[in-house]
Structure formats: C-alpha cells, structure tokens
Amino acid sequence: MVNEKKTWFIFYERFAQFFIMNEKEKTKLIIKTLNKIYPKTPIPLKSKNTFTLLVSVLLSAQCTDVNVNNVTKNIYPKYYKPEHFVKLGRKKIEKLIKKIGIFRIKAKNIYLMSKQVLEKHKGKVPKTFEELEKLPGVGHKTASVVMSQGFGYPAFAVDTHIHRLAQRWGLTNGKNVVQTENDLKRIFPQKIWSKLHLQIIFYGREYCKARECYGITCKICTTCYPKRKKPIIIKKA
C-alpha cells in the first residue's frame, strides 16, 4: 500500500502539467513541497520570554526579522519584563529602537502595552485572543503569532507573504486577510497551522517573492497552474 502511494505521487509530480489541480490536490502538493524544503521551522524572531516575543512582533511591523533581531539583541539581556519598559518610558524606548521604522509609534505602543500588562494582567502576557487584542498596538495577526509561538495554541497568522501566496495558489479570493485566514483554516488541518504559517512565509521570501514569481515561475505555482501565463495581480490586504 505504501509503495502504491509512493508510485502514484511520483507519477503525479511528473505529469502534473497535464492536470488541473483541485483544492485537495493542491493542498497535498503544498504540504509535501513545504515539508521537504522546510522540515524544521525555527521561530525567526529572537526572544527571551513570551513578553519579549510580543515586543518583537510589535517591532516587526513594516520591518524585517533580521533588523528586529539586530536591535533587540542589545535590549533583551537587560530589559525583558513589562516593568522594565514602563520604567524606561517612551523617550528611552525610542532611543533603543530608533533603527527600526516608525519607531516613535512603536515605542508608544510598547510603553502603553507594557503598562497595561503590568496593571491589568499582573505582569503576565494574557493567554487569550480577546485579552491580547485589547492591548495597545496588538491586532489579530500579532495576537495569532503570540498565541502560536508563545503559548503553542493552534493559530494561522496571515501576513503579506501568506496573503500573497494564498492568492497565487488559488486558495482564497484575497478580499482581505480575514477571509484569507478563514479559507486557509478551512483547507489545512489544524495540527499543522503553526508550522505551515512559518513554512509559507519562508517560501514566500525565498521562492515566491512579491516582485519575482508573480504566480508563474516557482515550483508550487507552476505545478498548480501549469498553463498560467499572465502574472497574478494580488489584492492587497
């Protein structure tokens, strides 16, 4: 039985160009391809605890993970609790993160978020979406990352990479990130959401880039849509 399945998949990969893949077939191909390329999915943002993970995710908006890590490596050894950032105050936080884009807005959010975690949650990062999304600067995507990577809760945070690839792969109509998230949660098994979230991000950065693939050159795009010739216009989140 195992050999039969293996033989079928080899045949399918070889002659995929002659088929129009349905949703179930695309799902299997995507999972297999991503597991092969990214068997391990280390968390890109470096952190010391759940609180610093939350801070890093806030800093990562419109900024690369590498840039965030380069800045936080000089912060977290000394400042890693909400009380530390409250004591620092907005102006000092600004100085610490000034190499990161829109640092003044982020410094304000980090300060207010730290203050609220300290006063309303006894210094502990809340463990529910509802409570997380009440924190200053924390939206659903940030809350999803913290729930997934900080607490191990199955979540499917949708960023620009995932929103783009889901459209190129024909998994969503791309109206907005909420719709994309709901579509992906419906299609993929819950047990792989957290890992798949990172795998798709890695693949989007390496193979299906915003200004390179356009839905017509990477392995997954060409296998799912072998006859596609025109670039896919992505609906922005």
> Tokens 């900080």 map to which residue?
150
Note if 26 is an active site residue: no
96 phi and psi, to 5 degrees? -70, -30
Two tokens at 146? Answer: 């913290």
Please calculate the CA angle 194-198-204 and round it to the nearest 5 degrees: 145
Q: In one letter, which amino acid is 132? A: L
Please give the full DSSP string across 93-150, using - where no structure is assigned: HHHHTTTSTTHHHHHHHHHHHHHHHHHHSTTS---SHHHHTTSTT--HHHHHHIIIII
Q: Is 34 helix (H, G, I), strand (E, B) or coil?
A: helix
Give me the catalytic one of 28, 46, 127, 141.
Answer: 141
Residue 195 catalytic? no
Q: Check 26, 106, 159, 183 and give the catalytic one.
A: 159
Geometric angle at alpha carbon 28, from 27 and 32, rounded to 5°:
120
The rounded distance, in Å, linking the Cα atoms of 209 and 87 is 41
Catalytic residues, by residue number, are 141, 159
